[in-house]
Amino acid sequence: MCRSGLRDDERTDQPDLALLQYLRKTHAILLGDTPIIYSFGYSLIIFSYKESKMENSEILTRVKNVVSNVLKIESSEITDDSNFVFDLGADSLQSVELVAGFEEEFDIEMDQDKALEVQNINDAVNFIAEYL
């Protein structure tokens, strides 16, 4: 199944089509994922990563959901330019909870100091996009 001529410790970003189809069936690699394959004799180690970044519209939706849950407000009250403190009423503790919520939602680790400087929803979307 390995590409012919592949050295034992060689890495390839371009697997054979048959191998790619096999991996998608057996290892749940999604169409948007690109597998990186390391071959060690008869063993394969497979990693995959997303080729494309998340769309800002999806980030925005997820940010609004986190804000709604943490601040206990309706999503309809949150606009793209809502300020966390002045428009949405977040206090300092809730600001920390928002950062933690974003990290959990997007499975990222953000610079806490820089994250706490973010003032509004649009800035949060752009800030989070840098980590994705």
Distance between CA atoms of 99 and 115, rounded to whole angstroms?
7
Q: Which two tokens stand for residue 132?
A: 């994705």
Residue 121 Rama label (left phi>0; alpha psi -120 to 50; beta): alpha
Catalytic residue list contains 91? yes
Radius of gyration of the chain (CA): 21
Residue 79 contacts residue 121 (beta carbons within 8 Å): yes
Among residues 8, 80, 81, 91, the one annotated as catalytic is 91
The pairs formed by 96-102 with CB atoms below 8 angstroms and a separation of 24 or more are 97/70, 98/66, 98/67, 98/70, 98/71, 101/66, 101/69, 101/70, 102/63, 102/66, 102/128
Residues taking part in catalysis: 91
